[in-house]
Each structure stands twice: as C-alpha cells, then as structure tokens.
Amino acid sequence: MSVPADWESFAVMTGGASAALTGLLFVAVSVDTGRIARHPGLRAGAAQTLVLFIAPLLMATALLVPGQPDPVLGAELIAMGIGACLSLLAIGRNKREAAVDDGRLTDIFDRRDTNVVVMLLFVAAGALLAFGHDAGLYLLLPASAVAFVSGVLNAWRFLLPPPHAHPPREPDS
C-alpha cells in the first residue's frame, strides 16, 4: 500500500505544524537562554518539548516517502516511537528533580508516562501497519494531537512558571 492522498494531506499538515512549533521553541528558548541553561529542570523541559515536536515531524516525513511498502513504513514508525520513548525516559529522570506540582491540566500532559504512551501509539501504528492493517494509521492522529498539546503546554510551563512557584535556585558553584 502506498499512503492514500488523505494521509498525505495529514502528513503535510502535521509536518508543517511540527516544524513551525519546533522553530518557535528555539526562538522562545533563545529569548531566556540564561535562566534555562542554569536550571536542569527547565533544560529538561525544553528537551522534552523538542522531542514532542520532532516526533510528529519525523512521522510525517516517513508518511510522505513515495511508494514505500507498509512493512518499511511500519518499521520506521516503530523505530521513531521507541527512540522517542527512550529519549523521554532519559529526559524524565532530569526533570523529576525540579518538578513543580501545581495541580493544573498541564500536570496531566507533563507526566513522563503520558508522553511515553503517546510515543507508544507511534509504535503500535507501525506494528499494525507492518502486519498489513492500514487502520493502524488512525493511531497517528491521537499520537500527534497529544504530542502537540503536551509540547505546547510544557513549553508554556517552562517559559512562564506558575506565579506561586519559587524561582529556580542558582546552582552552587
């Protein structure tokens, strides 16, 4: 199966949104580089957001490769999902140290396990596709949507911490 035209449109839209969000992330981080560089939790938040924005971009790129057999596309999605999961798990270790629980909706999307589940949807989509089930592509929609929402909320949170949060301490030199 070659990806149907409807999925090509989805990939173009998702890839474009992902690329734009990634670019905006770099601009936002560059505006406050000093504060982010000094705080391990903020650096981890920026890295987590980058993974959440890049994963849909890579997925869209794979979907747009012309004439690609389903098993190959499935294997690519599996590899991307596993790579993103491992990255998020590694980043999550650094982020736990500086976690601020402010009891908001952002806490749901900022959790490491929520983001790993999103990436596992890429893996599941790839596995289903590799085994000949085109319906696996439908898992890419919730995976991409939650990755974007989670990334945007995470970026908002690390760029503009809650008003009651204590400012990050300067590391001891």
Q: Output the pTM of the full model.
A: 0.79
- What span, in angstroms and rounded, lies between the C-alpha atoms of 112 and 96? 9
pLDDT digits 0-9 by tens, 114-158: 778 888 999 999 999 899 898 889 999 999 998 998 888 888 877
- Tell me the torsion sign for CA atoms 20, 145, 45, 109: positive
Domain boundaries, the chain: 5-159
Least confident of 4-8, 10-14, 71-75, 82-86: 4-8
Q: Which pLDDT score, from 0 to 100, does residue 68 have? A: 87
Dihedral pair phi/psi, residue 161, rounded to 5°: -60, 155
What does the pLDDT average to over 37-54? 87
**pLDDT above 70 as % of the chain:** 77
